Amino acid sequence: MNFKTIAIAAACTIALGTSARAELLDDIKAKDELVCGTLNYLPGVGYLNDEGKWSGFDVDFCRGAAAAILGDAEKVKFVALTGPQKFPALDSGEIDILSRSVTQTISRETTLGYDFIGPNMLTGQGFMVPADSGVTSLDDLDGATICLLGGTVTERYLAEYFSAKGMSFTPVASEGSDQMYPMYFDGRCDAVTQEPPYMAIRRMNSGNPDAHVILDQIVAKSYEAPVIREGDPKFREVLQWMHYGMITAEEMGITMDNIDEVMETTNDPEVRRFLGLEGDIGASMGVSNDWMVNVIKAVGNYGEFFDRNLGKNSPLGVERGMNALYRDGGAMIAPGWQ
């Protein structure tokens, strides 16, 4: 075999490999099931109850994805993953998508071979301390022991912040939140760190919420997003535009309750295109033209999706904040549907 033949063979091998990786969307349709890695212990985010029912913000994103791709939000298999398990499960192909409160960072996206969707939750790295500790700002945590999640970017965030301030801390790492918060509530660390919505969940369930204070300061942006392996462009397009579509539906005032009425009455070309009544946007992406109708009927627009799981319509009552629409003072915005 001469050099030219070897080069052609190598190019063909690369092309075949790329083609195979680009067909995950078709593989999911062929097996008629989406496999989603998520949490199973955090109500409002990812939770499996005693009756075997899954719920939460991250869970519902996968239900929406199943509705978008397969036309049925129930055609999803959930896999509960700990922090250390989440990326190996994605790397090995055990799961199709990781929707488990993963923070989007440049290093994860550009060096580890992942594509992030969204981000669909905008928050930051906050701190909770005992109310009687006298701690009112991060400056008071110099020399503190801090409970944190191992296998995440948290320890690096804290190390960079404390180093820049000439301060020190001692990390107390846990494999998961179910280990971390008991350690904090038992007094084994001076503070606990996580995104404020998740600390609010744990404080509410602590039995004595008034005994703990979430500080106003955060040390880093934590923009969370579902994750897939890099190299599946059709799958990524559907998921990214599903996220945009949920925001667009809220902008358009389309909800789970009124979507059938809107479909029957609207003459707005953009709304008709969005709902698949005109054009072939869905078909060109490899899904049905009414794919966003399936998503909205399954999990609602972005506002419904947020409020049902975390916000004003949930026991947690987390404020929309940065997760409000841009027109309402938040940062959630989507490109046009042309």
Tens of pLDDT, residues 69-86: 999 999 999 999 998 899
Which helix (H) or strand (E) element contains residue 27? helix 24-31
Q: Taking each helix axis from N to C terminus, what angle separates 196-204 and 177-185, rounded to the nearest 10 degrees?
A: 60
Which range has the worst mean pLDDT, 38-42, 244-248, 259-263?
A: 38-42
pLDDT, position 13: 43
Please give the C-alpha separations between residue 214 and each of 166, 303, 321, in angstroms, as whole numbers: 23, 25, 16
Q: What is the pTM of this model?
A: 0.81
> Does residue 141 sit within a domain?
yes
pLDDT attached to residue 8: 44
In total, how many domains does the chain have?
1
Segment 242-249 mean pLDDT: 98
**Domain membership of residue 208 as a residue range:** 123-223
In a domain, 278, yes or no: no
Identify the residue with better confidence: 317 or 337.
337
pLDDT at 19 > cutoff 70: no
Given this model, what pLDDT does residue 117 score?
A: 97
252-271 confidence digits (pLDDT tens): 999 999 999 999 999 999 99
User: pLDDT tens digits, residue range 142-199?
Assistant: 999 999 998 777 888 899 999 999 999 999 999 888 899 999 999 999 999 998 888 8
Which residues, including other chains, have CB under 8 Å from residue 250's CB and lie 6 or more apart? Answer: 301, 302, 303, 304, 325
Q: Give me the percent of the chain exceeding a pLDDT of 70.
A: 93
* 249 against 338, higher pLDDT: 249
**Residue 175: what pLDDT?**
85
List C-alpha distances in Å: 171 to 139, 159, 184, 221, 243.
16, 9, 12, 20, 35
pLDDT exceeds 50 at position 11: no
pLDDT tops 80 at residue 314:
yes
Q: What was the pLDDT predicted at 196?
A: 82
The burial of 134, by beta-carbon neighbours within 10 Å (0-12 exposed, 13-18 middle, 19 or more buried), is given as: exposed
Question: What is the rounded average pLDDT of the residues 44-63?
Answer: 96
Give mean pLDDT, residues 234-262: 98
CATH of the domain at 152: 3.40.190.10
Instruction: Provide the mean pLDDT of the chain.
Output: 91
CA 215-155-331 angle, to 5 degrees, is 55
Q: Is residue 256 part of a domain?
A: no
Q: In angstroms, rounded to a whole number, what is the distance separating the alpha carbons of residues 64 and 321?
A: 23
Residue 47 has pLDDT above 90, yes or no: yes
Phi-psi region of 213 (alpha: psi -120 to 50; beta: other; left: phi over 0): beta
Higher-pLDDT residue of 196, 239: 239
Give me the helix-helix angle, 57-70 and 302-309, nearest 10°: 140
Residue 44 lies in a domain: no
Structural domain contains residue 294: no
128 belongs to a structural domain:
yes
> Does a structural domain hold residue 35?
no
Classify residue 290: in a domain, yes or no: no
Is pLDDT above 60 for 15?
A: no
Over residues 225-242, the mean pLDDT reads: 96
Instruction: Identify the CA nearest to 273 among candidates 303, 304, 245, 238.
Output: 245
Could you give the dihedral angle defined by the CA atoms of residues 119, 120, 125 and 129, in that order, rounded to the nearest 10 degrees? -170
Q: Give the model's pLDDT for residue 22.
A: 53
